[in-house]
Amino acid sequence: MSTAKIVTKSIRLDDNESEKLKQISQDEGVSEAALLKRFVRRGIAEHRLEKAITAYERGEADLSAAAQYANISVYHMMSELAKRDIEPPPSAEKFMDGLKTLVATFGGSEALKQTISTFESE
């Protein structure tokens, strides 16, 4: 059984907002209170996701920490970052360095060595 304390919050809506809420409530057959709670939950989740993405983009958080803060899986966070085309600055350098490490460790064709050398000289 949940021991979470329930707190009541009241909000003020203008006529337009109130009417829209009423309409959705009728359309979906859900009480306005339940709808508001759903919207608040979604809003909080969205807010935390945006904060996590910003922190990741600035290099303040790694992927795990960002996912943890947003309360989503690492896969979900990777997908959100890819969708927004967010990549930390060292990614291209990391890519080429990884390729060089693989060649140095396991060997590679002359073609691959030449490709790496061409990219490095550019």
Partner 1 sequence: MKQNASFDTSFWINVCVGNTVAYVNEYFNLFTTNEVAEEIRYPLDILGIKSQSTLLFNKWLNQDKITLQNPNNPVSWFQSGENAAIALAIEQRYFILIDDANPYHRAKNAGLSVIGSSDFTVFLYDQDHITFEGAMGALQQMQISKKLRRTASVTLESLKRLKDK
Q: Find the binding residues for partner 1 in span 59-118 (CB under 8 A).
A: 59, 61-65, 67-68, 73-75, 78-79, 81-82, 85-99, 101-103, 105-106, 108-112, 114-115, 118
Q: Which two tokens stand for residue 18?
A: 């109130």
119 binds partner 1 (CB under 8 A): yes
Q: Taking the complex as a whole, how short is the minimal distance between the CB of residue 53 and partner 1, in angstroms? A: 12
Q: Find the binding residues for partner 1 in span 22-61 (CB under 8 A).
A: 56, 59, 61
Size of the residue set binding partner 1 (CB under 8 A): 45
At 74, phi and psi to the nearest 5? Answer: -60, -40
How far separated are the first and last CA of the chain, in Å rounded?
A: 63
Give start and end residues of each alpha helix (H) in the chain: 15-28, 32-57, 63-70, 74-83, 91-106, 110-121
Q: Taking the complex as a whole, how short is the minimal distance between the CB of residue 58 and partner 1, in angstroms? A: 9
Neighbours of 59 (CB within 10 A): 10
C-beta closer to partner 1: residue 32 or 57: 57
Q: For residues 71 and 65, give the distance between their C-alpha atoms in angstroms, rounded to a whole number.
A: 10
Q: Which residues bind partner 1 (CB under 8 A)?
A: 56, 59, 61-65, 67-68, 73-75, 78-79, 81-82, 85-99, 101-103, 105-106, 108-112, 114-115, 118-119
